[in-house]
């Protein structure tokens, strides 16, 4: 009978219980939040604020790598940009990557 209780692990050493198994999982989630999720959310918030603050004449870089200057802003969420050779492109506001003022002024 004693052997049966010992096999069931009633007081087996090394078993930390449920808390000992949950703590590492919680720590992993916390690390992922502070090092991956939170910075990404912060960057997305800054990008959204930048896109909302755009105005005619701003120099931009699109996600596709096209440099241009905002020529016209439409109410449907699109903008018209002019590129170096005088051509015009109609793109979505969401396709804007970053400000390109310093890069375009060097050229």
94 contacts: CB under 8 Å, gap ≥ 6: 51, 77
pLDDT tens for each residue of 4-52: 555 555 444 555 688 888 999 999 999 999 999 999 999 999 999 999 9
99 by DSSP, 3-state: which?
strand
Whole-structure pTM value: 0.63
Helix (H) or strand (E) holding 3: helix 2-8
User: Please, how many CA atoms are within 13 Å of residue 14, restricted to the half-sphere of its CB?
Assistant: 1
**Buried b / exposed e along 40-56 (16+ C-beta atoms within 10 A):** eeeeeeeeeeeeeeeee
């Amino acid at each position: 009978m004693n052997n049966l209780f010992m096999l069931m692990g009633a007081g087996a050493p090394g078993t930390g219980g449920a808390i000992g198994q949950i703590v590492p999982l919680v720590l992993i989630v916390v690390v992922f939040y502070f090092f991956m999720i939170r910075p990404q959310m912060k960057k997305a918030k800054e990008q959204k604020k930048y896109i909302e603050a755009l105005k005619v004449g701003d120099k931009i870089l699109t996600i596709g790598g096209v440099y241009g200057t905002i020529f016209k802003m439409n109410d449907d969420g699109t903008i018209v940009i002019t590129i170096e050779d005088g051509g015009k492109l109609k793109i979505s506001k969401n396709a804007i990557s970053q400000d390109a003022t310093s890069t375009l002024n060097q050229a």
